[in-house]
Amino acid sequence: MRSAVTEFDLIDPPCITEELRLLRDQVRRFVAEEVLPVADQWEREGCIPRSIFRRLGALGLLGMRHPVEHGGTDMGPVASVLWAEELARSGYGGLPASVLVHTDMSSTHISRRGNEEQKCKYLPDIIRGEKIVAIAVTEPGAGSDVAGMKTRAVRDGDHWVIQGTKLYITNGVYGDIYIVAARTDPEAKGSRGISLFIVEKGTPGLVVARELEKHGDLCSDTAELYFDNLRLPDTAMLGELNKGFYAVMDNFQNERLVMAGSSIGASMRAIELTLDHVRTRQAFGGTLWDLQATRQKLSMLATKVAAARALTYSAAELEALGKDCVREISMAKVFACEVNVEVVNSCLQLHGGSGFMRGMAIERMTRDARIQTIGGGATEVMLEEVGKRL
């Protein structure tokens, strides 16, 4: 629980206002009171209850990236990073995985590119947590290489017929609304000729082919989806025809920022847990904390987390100002996620044999961290984004 003796907090950057501190306090209370007492059960069941989304909606926490006129609070990317950080400090990676896909990775497509009818139809239920959203881009042969997708949408009169498969879709099992990317111009090369569609649960031809078992993030559901001649009206298209790739790339900025933020929060929690452990674990006539090697290891990890946090909030500020900051966000995503993996592995080592046991928080967090350097653009892809802009 977040009642550890040790609190590892860092000085806030200037972009974190009093309003954002109040938001952080609210999320911390929610996690302590409504997540931690039951999260182990979620891990066993492989999903987060719908009631949690409704509760987050009632608290006004699902609309931070949505316009005020549709029920949101439009707080911007700095708030998203702080939100991600606090969700991840729960120590349960599946919580930020499912919730952030809903708030920052999928529904934002409707806010940014939906027409007024689509916004009015979908956003209120999304913001209240009545409907859960997923983003369906990744395919068996197209992950970080979005331009390589094979799912097709073929026009048939005033409808589109979609055929294809999507893989590793978070919220795919229990989702209600899917933002689906499909190739609408088979003759176009690479990134051209891809469009986005809004697909509702229950649409004939939408098949949850299988629920996937994962290495970590066990309380977030993940699915393989199959589209079997799924028919959609023209009104289901989201944004401009054949401009979907650019929409996905633009929204990746949100996704990568919150993944950096969640990596920071998880790293901070791992350090808290480990400080508590080494200060009480007796060894060699004292505690592990009495050993210089232990203190220096944790000090270096804390320094890297502080650096990742500063870089991430700086990138979020640039995004809020409307700057072209793909390079900086890619840097933040790479560094924060790689640091997260280093931190949890090192903290597990300091826990010794106990850290290897199921039921220990650090064991779970080590598994959960592994996806951070893969999802939202693998480290190698992010480094190429940086390299293009050097």
Q: Identify the DSSP state of 291.
A: S
Q: Which long-range contacts (CB under 8 A, 24 or more apart) does 379-385 make?
A: 379/334, 379/337, 379/338, 381/144, 382/256, 382/330, 382/331, 382/333, 382/334, 383/330, 383/334, 385/326, 385/327, 385/330
Question: What number of other Cβ atoms are within 10 A of residue 387's Cβ?
Answer: 10
d(CA 252, CA 236): 22
Q: Which two tokens stand for residue 249?
A: 């790339």
Question: What number of other Cβ atoms are within 10 A of residue 368's Cβ?
Answer: 28
φ, ψ of residue 195 in degrees (nearest 5): -130, 160
Cα–Cα–Cα angle for 178, 75, 22, nearest 5°?
A: 115
Residues 66 and 72 sit within 8 Å (Cβ to Cβ): yes
* DSSP line for 90-135: TS-THHHHHHHIIIIIIHHHHHHH--HHHHHHHHHHHHHTSS-EEE
- Catalytic (active site) residue 255: yes
List C-alpha distances in Å: 381 to 43, 77, 197, 320: 30, 22, 26, 24
Q: Which of 139, 224, 255, 317 is catalytic?
A: 255
d(CA 351, CA 290): 15
Pairing of strands 177-183, 133-136: parallel
* CA-wise closest residue to 71 among 19, 110, 17: 110
Active site residues: 255
